[in-house]
Structure 1
């Protein structure tokens, strides 16, 4: 029997989305624009503890997410609250990194078998539109689900909206702050006030001075990671 799947999107901003799973034919899925390298990986990977596929128990939902102290905690806490009015309900959570979840989604579509996918998965905002556009068979239309999307930040809702339909549930909208070394600013002839309420162009010009005076860049980023750009957006 086909089960409904929820896909969630996180990061400094994230979204929850439902996907349609089961062993049905995914041959009509448009896979253009997908990650070809990721598609060559096995869906099972090396994670022996990963629960693949939707649960056979109608009162249990399988979940793929990451971060035990935040995302997994939130999912399990939500299940506790729901279980109070729905005795016997539970979630079966597998801890999987964001990149690995995306790899598994791509692999499932490429194999034409969505039965390996869980009921709920977490996804980064910046990936949601790409996957919803290229792999529409994965997601469930939640527009008429009874969820009041007006209660969420509309910028967050937009990430999981495609052609006017809602395919995800906003999950997290984290605040981003900038932390600056005041001793380094002072060495460059600045104070924190010089970097308060300024334009990006002004920031860049002052950042060049900081680099010239101190030898250190004012911004850093992890190689191969889009986190800094995502936070700025």
Structure 2
């Protein structure tokens, strides 16, 4: 393993946007990584675009732009939390098909293995029940959803993301060549340690499991432990 610079591609969780990762301080990476925060359509500067409605097609669609923006000489590392984890996995599959050897590592956070999932669903509930169910799942509710004007704007995107995640089924195929690290908040009531460790069967490379302080949304509660893990990546 070498201590070389890499491009860290970050995928948002349901209802969030690239600004979450753009707010990360650059200091923890010390020039070691360039953070490339990916924007999903339907939010922030891409507000007028139709949101994704399928995880597998979303992962494949994002790859060309990521490869265009990433430093071609730097290793490529993917990170995604919850919905972002399965989109990152589908991106990883697409990259390994089209550019073998280009992907160096996949970090999946707050997510069971691709064939895991919840038995209870939020899709199809009315607005209040939907938000309450999402809050129950994540243990987190963004304050913007308590402002009627903002909720009207944000709710369709969150609904699209949640439906996309709940309807996700991975395609059959070979495990990834790239190593996978599964991350989980130690107090996460949504994703168990056993479910997080399911990712071990989805790689032919090395697998690691790490627990960080906090609940399912540990990275919103305090990003510092996660930043230390990501900045310590050795390729």
**TM-score category by the smaller chain?**
under 0.3
- If the length of structure 1 is used for normalisation, what is the TM-score? 0.27
Highest RCO, 1 vs 2 (Cα 8 Å, sep ≥ 6): 1
Q: TM-score, normalised by structure 2?
A: 0.27
The structure with the larger Rg is 1
